Structure 1
Amino acid sequence: MKVGLRTLLERSVKKMGKGMNPIVKAAALEMVERAYNEGIYVQISAGYRSLEEQASLYGQGRVYIYNGKNYSNLAKPNVTNAKPGQSYHNYGLAIDFFIVSDDGKKAIWTVNSKWQRVAAIGKELGFIWGGDWSSFKDYPHLEMTGGLSYKQLQAGKNPHITSPKTSKGDNHIISIQKTLNVRYETNIECDGFYGPKTRMALIIGLQTELNKQFNKKLVVDGKWGPKTKNATVTIKKGASCNITWILQAALYMKGFNPGTLDGEFGENTEMALYKYQKASRISADKLAGKVTWNELFA
């Protein structure tokens, strides 16, 4: 049985983890989708990597101490020359990928024509491919640097990365963005990517509905602060309201498809919520409460 696109996307979202630049994440998922449409089944194997995780990788095959902790592992071979803070993974600007078998059960690491085609799709979307490097070939690696060096990122400078013009974006996200603009008078670009402005617009929508439906008296500023977090309400299967629509939209942005975005909390929304909670390692109670809302927007 052929692996489904949604399965590959959900696996990829989980592997990329938190801390990804939203445009880099969206481009990575589109790469998976575009490759799938060409009959190539690809999955993201890594995304954001903490400094501690980077230290552990760098410690393979060498003696290495970072922040007073020994990360040495001489029993394993070297896998990276990047110390903590010297990898674009540490800033959510890089991904690794691999090809999977038709049934999605086997990883294929052979750098063949399919692999090169996926890399080409990635480059069309704005990625730099490690397979093009002259010194060290890193074939699974793709990154968007925003023109910044490691030192600039370490100094706190934020990369300016825009949605690539060659990308068509996600039609469902475009629909969500249009609805936000009409319903809550936001003015975000309908580009089909989940970026900071779309996230802010969703929060504006949630704040507006909390004020309207529950008289919460929040400042509608699109910021996820303690007052908004504490004002959230719990919704569950059977709920029918605009807050359910915001939940559905937020779940879709995270790669968990609730089906039709209709504001009706049905079985598909419940299952998408459950899978998201499991992947996020929070209580999988199928209730959209304070912890779940915070996980979606924090």
Structure 2
Amino acid sequence: MDTPTKNKIAKLHPSVRNEVTNIIQECDTALTGRAKVRVTQGLRTFAEQDALYQQGRTTPGKKVTNAKAGQSIHNYGFAVDICLIIDGKIASWETTKDWDNDQVADWYECVKIFAKYGWEWGGNWKTFKDLPHFDKRGFNKWQQLAKLKLDKNGYVILL
């Protein structure tokens, strides 16, 4: 597991850090070829979320989210976005490539592992498909998370 991934995991909600670490390690073990998993997004501040929401609306670029600040599971530390790092240097979001030649696309090997741990894949969403996105089932309703109190570190306190 690379340093950028470790740093992103360290900022997730404390209740999912170990699980995400295990998921990424299991993905990396399953991917026996040139690809490894990198977490590209984890916890996202409200300001960062607002900047993403403005993209394609009031700032240049294409729209990448329909979630305003506070409306993303990333804002509560229960979501990650990933890419595959090929040969330790090239980022890939190609979902159909089988870098380890085991007849299963590497991305879908990871999708299965995340699902085994109870994480929802944004590629299964009906309207706004988000292929790099995974969030923890049970914590994927921002409306519920927004009502919870925060601990001294700014994480929601789970009941």
TM class by smaller structure = 0.7 to 0.9
The reply to whether residue 60 of structure 1 matches residue 52 of structure 2 is no
Give the C-alpha shift of residue 17 in structure 1.
5.3
Is residue 15 from structure 1 mapped to residue 8 from structure 2 by the alignment? Answer: yes
- Contact 1:16/1:46 (CA < 8 Å) preserved in 2? no
Matched AA of 1:51:
F
CA contact (8 A) 1:146 1:159 kept: no
Q: Does 1:153 align with 2:145?
A: yes
TM-score (norm 2): 0.81
Higher relative CO (Cα under 8 Å, sequence separation at least 6) belongs to 2
Partner of 2:16: 24
**Cα distance in structure 2, aligned partners of 1:79 and 1:147:** 22
The alpha-carbon deviation at position 153 of structure 1 amounts to 1.2
Highest Rg: 1 or 2? 1
Question: Aligned partners of 2:44, 2:110: CA distance in 1, in Å?
Answer: 22
1:44 counterpart SS class: strand
The aligned length equals 141
1:65-144 equivalence runs, <5 A: 73=59, 75-101=60-86, 103-112=87-96, 113-144=105-136
Question: Shift of residue 16 of structure 1?
Answer: 4.1
Sequence identity percentage: 35
Please, what TM-score do these two structures have when normalized by structure 1?
A: 0.45
- The residue type paired with residue 148 of structure 2 is G
Which structure 2 residues correspond to residues 252-271 of structure 1 after superposition, within 5 A? none
In structure 2, give the amino acid aligned to 1:45: T
What is the rounded CA distance, in whole Å, between the counterparts of 2:38 and 2:140 in structure 1?
27
Structure 1 contact 61–76 (Cα < 8 Å) conserved: yes
**Which residue identity does 1:86 align to in structure 2?**
Q
**Contiguous gaps of at least 5 residues in structure 1:** 64-72, 161-298
- Tell me, yes or no, if the aligned pair for 1:17 and 1:47 is still in contact at 8 Å: no
1:42 aligns with 2:37: yes
Distance 2:106 2:144 in 1: 35
Distance 1:148 1:36 in 2: 25
TM-superposition CA deviations, 1:177-228 (whole Å, max 9, x none): xxxxxxxxxxxxxxxxxxxxxxxxxxxxxxxxxxxxxxxxxxxxxxxxxxxx
Distance in 1 separating the partners of 2:40 and 2:140: 24
Cα RMSD of the aligned pairs, angstroms, is 1.8
Q: Which amino acid aligns with 2:45?
A: S
Alpha-carbon offset, residue 150 of structure 1: 1.7
> 1:17/1:29 Cα in 2 relative to 1: closer, same or farther (>3 Å)?
closer
**Gap regions ≥5 residues in structure 2:** 97-104, 150-156
